[in-house]
């Protein structure tokens, strides 16, 4: 499958044509879902993982366990999406992968990396002749499978190569080139801060209803709010779905997170920009780890719905909270 992309340069339009092939490093929940999304849309997918993943192979994904075969299976300029946790593992994988690539290849970081780490990585790879894009990705596992939201930072040369595939994998209207290197991950970071504020507001609403003098049916109320209300949204739908599957008293009130919104608070202090709602949502998340409360249970239920985030404490996620950001504020 071949697609063309047109860009205006001094009033002259140049058509850039690239083969629709995608390499994905990391075939976990997000990477695996993105791979199946790409296959459904006729894109050749080569996935690199430490596991064989026969479930993906039987659906047409070429799964390999070493970088040499991974690179050989893709035509140049290669377009590679890293589906990895933020932190040192991104640099480790880049160090292992780059020797097998060719100058002009594009590497996209689809995780929630600190945007200043992305600026550094882009500079380092550009000096070696590679394109690096910080590809903020939203929509959770369902979005990766059916149509994600991409907010992508990076220089136009790399964007021109990767844009056709990203638009193909995105939901309708769900692709945006945000600007210079780092801007994609900054926009995604702010997105996550807004998400925290929305989650907290819904959670507090649940606490108010649970503490009222009325015997309220939360599942029916959230179903009602999903139809025509001002606050109708995917989060409201996830709350309804979660309540069908689990009673709220069964949900641990300890809310785990990977810590990236904490970076946003530091950024706001540095820029002297007041963000009271997002700041308080982070404080309430901390509170969830000290006492049981219905608002935290509601947040945990929705977070599990959109990202399969764990219920209760999780050692792996807690570790990522400490290691995800490498660069200084």
- Residue-wise pLDDT tens digits, 299-315: 889 989 988 888 888 88
Closest CA to 110 of 150, 74, 145, 157: 150
pTM given for the model: 0.83
Active site residues: 188, 195
What is the model's pLDDT at position 52? Answer: 87
- Residue-wise pLDDT tens digits, 64-88: 999 999 999 999 999 999 999 999 9
Model confidence band, residue 12 (pLDDT cutoffs 50, 70, 90)? very low
Contact 200, 299 (CB under 8 A): yes
What is the model's pLDDT at position 29? Answer: 94
Distance CA 186, CA 240 (A): 31
Closest CA to 112 of 185, 176, 199: 185
The Cβ of residue 169 has, within 10 Å, a number of other Cβ atoms equal to: 24
What is the model's pLDDT at position 227? Answer: 97
What is the model's pLDDT at position 290? Answer: 75
Model confidence band, residue 289 (pLDDT cutoffs 50, 70, 90)? confident
Distance CA 173, CA 191 (A): 16
- CA-angle at 172, arms to 168 and 173, nearest 5°: 105
What is the model's pLDDT at position 309? Answer: 87
Distance CA 29, CA 34 (A): 9
Model confidence band, residue 296 (pLDDT cutoffs 50, 70, 90)? confident
Give the pair of three-digit tokens for residue 271.
Answer: 């820029």
Contact 221, 209 (CB under 8 A): yes
What is the model's pLDDT at position 48? Answer: 97
- Residue-wise pLDDT tens digits, 113-133: 999 999 999 999 999 999 999
Closest CA to 238 of 250, 225, 228: 225
Domains of the chain by start residue, with CATH: 2-180 (3.40.50.720), 188-323 (1.10.1040.10)
pLDDT of 19 strictly over 70: no
Give the pair of three-digit tokens for residue 134.
Answer: 């910080």
Mean pLDDT across the chain: 92
Give the pair of three-digit tokens for residue 210.
Answer: 């649970």
Average pLDDT over residues 254-273: 92
pLDDT of 54 strictly over 50: yes
Give the pair of three-digit tokens for residue 174.
Answer: 């769900």
- Alpha carbon 227 to its chain centroid, in Å, reads 27
Distance CA 172, CA 308 (A): 24
Distance CA 317, CA 313 (A): 8
- Residue-wise pLDDT tens digits, 194-218: 999 999 999 999 999 999 999 999 9
Percent of the chain with pLDDT over 70: 93
Average pLDDT over residues 32-47: 97
Give the pair of three-digit tokens for residue 54.
Answer: 């026969």
Distance CA 70, CA 74 (A): 7
Average pLDDT over residues 51-56: 92
Output the 3-class SS for the chain. CEEEEEEEECCEEEEEEEECEEEEECCCHHHHHHHHHHHHCCCEEEEECCCCCHHHHCCCCEEECCHHHHHHCCCCCCEEEECCCCCHHHHHHHHHHHHHCCCCCEEEECCCCCHHHHHHHHHHHHHCCCEEEEEEEECHHHHHHHCEEEEEECCHHHHHHHHHHHHHHEEEEEEEEEECCCHHHHHHHHHHHHHHHHHHHHHHHHHHHHCCCCCCCHHHHHHHHCCCCCCCCHHHHHHHHHHHHCCHHHCCCCCCCCCHHHHHHHHHHHHCCCCHHHHHHHHHHHHHCCCCCHHHHHHHHHHHHHHCCCCCCCHHHHHHHHHCCCCCC
């Amino acid at each position: 499958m071949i697609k063309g992309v047109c860009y205006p340069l001094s009033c002259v339009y140049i058509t850039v044509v690239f083969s629709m092939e995608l390499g994905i490093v990391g075939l976990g929940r997000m990477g695996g879902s993105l791979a199946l999304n790409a296959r459904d849309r006729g894109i050749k997918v080569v996935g690199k993982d430490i596991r064989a993943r026969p479930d993906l192979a039987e659906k047409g994904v070429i799964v390999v366990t070493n970088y040499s075969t991974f690179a050989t299976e893709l035509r140049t300029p290669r377009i590679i999406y890293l589906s990895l946790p933020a932190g040192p593992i991104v640099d480790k994988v880049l160090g292992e992968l780059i020797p097998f690539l060719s100058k002009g290849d594009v590497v996209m970081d689809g995780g929630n990396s600190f945007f200043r780490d992305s600026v550094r990585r882009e500079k380092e790879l550009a000096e070696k002749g590679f394109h690096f894009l910080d590809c903020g990705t939203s929509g959770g596992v369902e979005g990766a499978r059916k149509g994600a939201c991409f907010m992508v930072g990076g220089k136009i040369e790399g964007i021109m190569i990767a844009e056709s595939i990203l638009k193909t994998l995105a939901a309708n209207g769900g692709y945006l080139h945000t600007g210079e290197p780092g801007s994609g991950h900054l926009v995604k970071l702010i997105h996550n801060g807004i998400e925290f504020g929305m989650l907290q507001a819904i959670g507090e609403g649940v606490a108010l209803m649970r503490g009222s003098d009325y015997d309220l049916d939360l599942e029916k109320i959230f179903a009602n709010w999903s139809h025509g209300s001002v606050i109708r949204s995917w989060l409201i739908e996830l709350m309804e779905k979660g309540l069908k599957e689990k009673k709220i008293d069964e949900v641990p009130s300890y809310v785990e997170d990977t810590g990236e919104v904490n970076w946003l608070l530091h950024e706001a202090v540095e820029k002297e920009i007041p963000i009271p709602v997002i700041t308080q949502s982070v404080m309430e998340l901390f509170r969830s780890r000290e006492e049981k409360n219905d608002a935290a249970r509601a947040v945990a239920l929705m977070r599990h719905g959109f990202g399969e985030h764990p219920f209760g404490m999780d050692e792996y996620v807690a570790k990522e909270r400490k290691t995800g950001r490498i660069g200084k504020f």
